A and B are shown apart, each in its own frame.
Chain A
Amino acid sequence: MSVKVNRRKFLKMLGWGGAGTALTGCDLPTTVTLEEGKEEVVSYLMPEEYAIPGIGVWYASTCTQCEAGCGLHGRVREGRVLKVEGNPDSPVNHGKSCMMGQSTVQAHYNPDRITSPMMRKGSTLQAVSWDEAMSALTSKIGPDSGVKGDRVGMVTGTVSGHQAVIIDELLAQVGSKNHYVHEVINTSVWSSVCRDMLGDEMPKLNFDKAGVILSFGADFLGTWISPVHNMGEYAKFRKGARGSLIQVEPKMTLTGGNADLWVPAKPGTEGALALGIANFILERGWNAVDVPSSVGKSLSQYTLTAVEKVTGVPVSKIKRIASMLTERGPSLVIAGASTENHENGYDAVASVMLLNLVMGNIGKTIEASAKFPEKALRAKQGNTKDLLLLAKALKDNKLDVLFTYNTNPAFTAPAVLQVSESLSGVGFKVAFSMFPDETTLQADLVLPIHSGMEDWGTHVPAYQPDTSSVLSLQQPLMEPIHKETRGFGDIMLSLLKLRNKDFGKFADYYSYLQTAVANMPADVTSNVEGASKDIWTNMLQKGIVKAKVSTNDLSPKLVDMKFKVKQDNSGYPMHLVPSARLGLWDGRHANIPWLQEFPDQIAKVVWGSWAELHPKKAAELGVKNGDYVRVTSASGSIETQVYIHKGIHPDAVSVPLGQGHDEFGRYAKGRGVNPLKILNPLMERRTGELATHATRVKVTNAHRHEKLVHLGGSESQVGRKFVKTISVDQLRRTEGEA
């Protein structure tokens, strides 16, 4: 048609000016030198030589934002990394990424990064040169410093791969066993139960194979084990036969928000509920595997009515859950934070695991995981037991030298443990850190390290989601933005060189890695996919190597269960739920503007803390959204705004983790409150973990109001068809089974 308008015509008309969106991202001038109207268009559009829009190149690396170890692809243009996306080759996340992964770039470009070494002179930290820093380091912990043995400690977050190796190496050289691996968001109770009952501390969970998932507070879509992977599996689970998800927890997590049935059990009684269900199943003889009578006997006390009394979950519902597990099987029963982190958390999780055994899920939906062949590279998973140990060691003044890396105990430790106070007792504190967080600023020597996108490293996910085990490579996506930062590995190497000449031959961590990877055991190197290339090139390109490993089946052990609910007689009627969320995580991402600006998935609050309350409780207290309440425990109190919704148990008050930093840069500092601070120092009896969900509190109206800054005007659709919900049978009617 003579007057057909196309992009070129339009551009001719609007020119570069009009190109606002119409042209953004034309990536080569060839695309605008056109048949018709060439001159005009070119005259408008042909940019200067230097301004020819470049092409993004993608490099593979590994995400360091949490412990899941997702593979990343980073888009690099003009020497800058612009955006990260999931690495399709990684079996962990299959090319997907979560909000924290996407935000890696903002951690990397963060304006508050530490840009030069700092040393404590008098009371203040002052910038020094690397030489000065290193000499100080040498004098303090070098071979002739006399520092030896257990008076040296190292506290880190979850570490794996060759970072773990060199940390071990250094501590071995020094002769210390004090490697505290600390994570607030952990699954250590779950792991120990799995170890004891299945013989595999991180079994492979097949969400996709399950017909119904019963989750006791395991926020597997948000914070549990490997969220991105789980979400992918969850999608498969929902599609096709469409399994049903039942979530039992005191406070609605992201997973709870997606549940078909969300059951608020009285906090700390989940174990009883699990046993009640198990008992009912046994009574009905629905159990898939035979259960020794002893077990049956001890279960029999958990009658429906008794369980209802304890948990507050109506009998009818318990029955329904039980029948669902049977009818819709194979089922998968898991337990997470709000179940684990009580004084009897182990028993609770064990009771939950019992359900799996009874329903015969072992081998179907729960399988042995593919452990990485080389033990030394496997992940050292963080927990809170080590936090308690560290606190004790500090109190008793057992440490002269303390290294901190990738963790922030001064922030995450409950106030009563007085970690930050007793830190001052340590003679020499060295912090490997990117950011001026609470712990770092207490150090005597601060060593600025590369960001996850500038540094080399290898990661072995603690949770191996595949039949073959994966090792994921973290390679720099760009030159360091700050001249004065160094790689963690590099610094460790130079420390090692002081004591062990063998490391002399490595110029830097890069060369170390290269050799180390090449020299990995045969069962890794021999099974590299794309065998044509050597393992290292393969890793550089794909970002991962997979090691085929033979897994032996799980060995389920049925032991008889006891679960006692602790009776509370203190003056603290409510349960504090320090809930974690995908985003700020345990607070390590509070300095990332994006993650501050993105609303919490459930409460939709931004840039601050809040306390979630049930409408009933709110009515009792006479508070409405935005009013301030004071949450008081035996060990302290915090004051924050309330958000009221029906996704929480009336006896629970939930304050999310992540906020309440005293330091940690412009975006985090002085924002909100930190629920961890008011936790009582209660221990899980069997594992010695910190029972983060066991603290009892009382909530009082602070008689102060501020507008609650959250997303969304009306909480209801007011009859519009925005999100319409249909029943499963309608789905089956219209779309069939698969």
Chain B
Amino acid sequence: MSFKNILENFSYYRRDAEDGGHHDYDHRFGMTIDLDICTGCNSCSTACYAENNLAVVGKERFEKGQAMHWMRVERYWDNIEGDYAEEGAKFLPMLCQNCGAATCEPVCPVAATYHTPDGLNAQVYNRCIGSRYCSNNCPFRVRYFNFWSYYEDSWPEPLNMQLNPDLTVRDKGVMEKCTFCVQRIRTAKDKAQREERVMADGDVVTACAQACPTGAIVFGDTMDPGSRVSKLWEKHQIHRGPFLQKKDKTNEEIRGYRIFDELSVDPSIMYLERVRDTEV
């Protein structure tokens, strides 16, 4: 709270996303999900439950729409001409996109959700007062609110022994969402620090990416040009930045896309379009 600070750095404090934003990122973790080889088998979702202490809410609350699946596999039927779904179903693993210009962040009255230098869109449970504005402002609807004290009946003895001590069990009134397994990132960072090296690609694997039987999910640091993710982003011409992206003429139709890119939220997850053999 010193004037000196403001006067000296004012111009710096006025930087927004267009001119690089305020953060000097250490990492910007991102993901690629290939919808062509995603089979919609739910393994990612299960792994997420196991890793992140997600509550099982039971039938009644599920019916109310109060389930807590950070990683949900959406299934769509559409444009089915004819009597049968001949092209099969459309599966979409949907999780928090950890947007670079996240719409949930500016609206939180208490700054409980903020952007970390790792490029994560972090949710600070202890700071959250549960105004739920963030969720209302999330076009992906991937933020989940603790409408009840789920822990009371989600882990009857001895199920609670399975809870991951690396992160908290949330009580009622708190917003929560996918964190890109921040606890794993933290562990990997500390490991790297102890071994006095920089984090390498593959040091961090989120629970979902680890479990995915087809390897449809690739996780990594989009700032590290060597990582698998950034190679894929490069190949598919998806770049960081909150602005709608044009692909170059040479290869306009390449598969990569980010959902709701037109909303300029800079999602950290690139999806690869699903492919179907139309000749069949």
Contact = CB atoms under 8 A, between A and B. Distances in A.
Interaction A to B: yes
Interface of A: 1-7, 10, 14, 17-28, 30-31, 53-54, 77-78, 80-86, 93, 95-99, 102-103, 105-106, 109-111, 221-222, 227-228, 231-232, 234-235, 238-239, 242, 244, 246-247, 252, 254, 256-264, 320-321, 324, 481, 582-583, 593-599, 601-602, 604, 606-608, 614, 616, 645-647, 650, 666, 707, 709, 711-712, 715-717, 720-731, 733-735
Contacts of A4: 24
B246 interface: no
Interface size on B, as a range, is 35 or more
Task: Sort A-B residue pairs by CB-CB distance and give the 3 closest, nearest first.
Answer: A25-B183, A20-B125, A25-B166
Contacts, number: 347
23 contacts: A1-B24, A3-B5, A20-B127, A27-B187, A53-B166, A80-B162, A85-B210, A93-B213, A103-B50, A111-B159, A221-B39, A252-B85, A261-B86, A261-B280, A601-B73, A646-B85, A716-B77, A723-B35, A726-B253, A726-B255, A726-B274, A728-B275, A729-B278
A247 B152 CA distance: 45
Nearest to A650: B83
A262 B86 contact: yes
Given A242-B275, A723-B92, A582 B41 contact: yes
B245 interface: no
Given A86-B210, A260-B88, A601-B40, 17 more contacts: A6-B26, A17-B127, A18-B124, A21-B183, A22-B124, A24-B179, A78-B165, A82-B164, A83-B50, A83-B51, A109-B158, A598-B45, A601-B42, A606-B59, A712-B74, A723-B271, A725-B274
B251 interface: yes
A712 B94 CA distance: 12
Interface in B47-104: 47, 49-51, 56-59, 62-63, 67, 69, 72-78, 80, 83-92, 94
Contact of A258 (B40, B57, B257): B40
Contacts of A722: 74, 76, 90, 92, 94, 259
A5 B22 CA distance: 10
B62 A721 contact: no
A593 B275 contact: no
B182 interface: yes
Interface string B99-137: 000000000000000001100001111111000000000
B187 A725 contact: no
Nearest to B174: A20
Nearest to B210: A85
A731 B253 CA distance: 9
A598 B49 CA distance: 10
Contacts of A235: 37, 213-216
Contacts of A259: 87-88
A723 B211 CA distance: 22
B12 A98 contact: no
A649 to B, nearest CB: 8
B255 A597 contact: no
B277 A261 contact: yes
Most chain B CB neighbours (cut-off 10 Å) among A1, A19, A95, A599 = A599
B42 A647 contact: no
A668 to B, nearest CB: 13
Contacts of A23: 186
Contacts of B67: 597, 711
B20 interface: no
Contacts of B213: 93, 96-98, 227-228, 231-232, 235
B127 A18 contact: yes
Interface of B: 5, 8-9, 12, 24, 26, 35-37, 39-43, 45-47, 49-51, 56-59, 62-63, 67, 69, 72-78, 80, 83-92, 94, 116-117, 122-128, 154, 156-159, 161-168, 179, 182-184, 186-187, 189-191, 193-194, 207, 210-216, 251, 253-255, 257, 259, 271, 273-280
Given A25-B182, A597-B57, A98 B253 contact: no
Given A257-B91, A735-B255, A25 B186 contact: yes
A521 B187 CA distance: 44
Given A21-B123, A242-B275, A597-B67, A709 B40 contact: no
B88 A481 contact: no
Contacts of B257: 721, 724
Contacts of A258: 39-40, 88-89, 91
B183 A24 contact: yes
Contact of B194 (A30, A54, A84, A264): A30
B187 A25 contact: yes
Contacts of B276: 260, 725-728
Nearest to B35: A723
Contacts of B163: 82
Given A96-B213, A257-B88, A111 B182 contact: no
Nearest to B77: A715
Contacts of A86: 210-211
Nearest to B157: A111
B42 A583 contact: yes
A252 B37 contact: no
Contact of B255 (A85, A607, A731): A731
Contacts of B271: 723
Contact of A717 (B78, B186, B189): B78
Contacts of A82: 50, 162-165
A252 B166 contact: no
Most chain B CB neighbours (cut-off 10 Å) among A21, A25, A231 = A21
Contacts of B84: 262, 264, 646-647
Given A54-B165, A98-B43, A262 B85 contact: yes
Given A257-B40, A645-B77, A647-B85, A244 B280 contact: yes
A6 B5 CA distance: 17
Contacts of B162: 80-83, 105-106, 109
A324 B280 contact: yes
A221 B39 CA distance: 8
Contact of B41 (A99, A246, A712): A99
B39 A725 contact: no
Contact of A734 (B50, B123, B128, B254): B254
Contact of B122 (A5, A21, A96, A646): A21
A97 B211 contact: yes
A654 B86 CA distance: 18
A498 B230 CA distance: 65
Nearest to A80: B161
Nearest to B207: A83
Contacts of B277: 242, 244, 260-261, 727-728
Nearest to A320: B280
Contact of B56 (A597, A601, A614, A727): A597
A75 B45 CA distance: 18
Contacts of A17: 126-127
Contacts of B74: 711-712, 722
A721 to B, nearest CB: 7
Contacts of B273: 723-726
A635 B274 CA distance: 44
B43 A109 contact: no
